[in-house]
Structure formats: C-alpha cells, structure tokens
Amino acid sequence: MRNTTTSTAGVRGGAALLALALLTACQSTSEISVSEAVVRLPANPDVAAGYLTIDNSGGAGDTLTGVTSEAAREVQMHDTVHDDDMAQMQRQDEIAVGGGETVRFESGGLHLMLLEPDELQVGDTVPLRLRFREAGEVTVEATVQEQVPGMDGAQNMDHMGEMGGM
C-alpha cells in the first residue's frame, strides 16, 4: 500500500516558493508609462519635433524600438550629439529604458522628428504609438504647442540634412 499523505510543512514550503517565484516575476517586468508628450508647431512645414517622458517603474529594462503616427509620414528618434562645439543629430534605432529609470525626450537631447506632418494648429493633439520590445505598444496623445522662441527655419533645415531620405 502506498502512503499518500502530504505533510503540512511540505505544502507550506511549496506555497512559499510559488509566492516567491510570482513576486520575482512581477518585479522583473517593465512597467512603461509615457507623459508630457508635446509636438512643437513646425517653423518648417516638412518636419516637427516631439518631446515626451518615458517612465519604467518595473524591475526590468525595456527598449523603445520605434514610434509611428498617422499624423506624419514617418517618425524618427534622434539624439543631439555635441562634438567640438557643434551639435549634430544622430538617428537612433532603439532607446534603452532601464528598470526604475526615466528617459526624457527634450530639446538638446533625445527627441522625435515627425516627417511631413499633417497641417498642425496649436492645441491639436497628435497620436503617437510607441513600440517597446517587452511592454508592446503604448499610445499617447501629444499636444501641439507653439514653436520655441529662437528656433528658426534655418536650424530645422540643418537638422533635415541629418535625417536622410528628405
């Protein structure tokens, strides 16, 4: 005859291991949120800049792999790189967002370039779909704001030379 009794200690130990495994799994995922999304009214109608903040409150890193919008032909991710007192724009294919980290897309750093955007007016909203390797797609509405004083069409044209395909 076979003994089929299970000890209470064994059940408790198994339950504790299961709870620990679930807790670890929850802590090792990315938890992405996007806020402060704006698109600046373009000085040049062929390109507009977008800015936003990505928060990853999870325990694991994630990677932004692309951005799209039906309000523009294409959305590119760029970073501003300073070399010998010159600022150059470099296209980025991916942006890492570490666990517990915040990444800001802002003037003078990481930013979005909306190529051939729709005709935009101050106060409009522009849908941006951000694709993350782990978190999947996150959609945010960016508010169209006035162009920043001092940012003229000549600066936008210099930037366009770095985008390629324009």
Confirm whether 10 is domain-assigned.
no
Return mean pLDDT, the chain.
82
- Give the chain's domain count: 1
* Residue 23 covered by a domain: no
> Model confidence over 58-76: pLDDT tens digits?
999 999 999 999 999 999 9
Domain that holds residue 121: 32-163
Average pLDDT over residues 19-38: 73
Higher pLDDT, 98 or 42: 98
Kindly state whether residue 22 falls inside one of the protein's structural domains.
no
Span 143-155, average pLDDT:
68
Q: 71 in helix, strand or coil?
A: coil
The answer to the question of residue 62 being in a domain is yes
Report CA dihedral (22, 23, 28, 30) to the nearest 10 degrees: 100
* 153 half-sphere exposure, CB direction, 13 A CA radius: 4
121 inside domain? yes
CATH of the domain at 139: 2.60.40.1890
- pLDDT, residue 52, reads 98
pLDDT in tens, 104-123: 999 999 999 999 999 999 99
Measured distance CA(139)–CA(69) in Å, rounded: 9
**pTM (predicted TM-score):** 0.75
119 assigned to some structural domain: yes
Quickly count: other Cβ atoms within 10 Å of residue 50's Cβ: 24
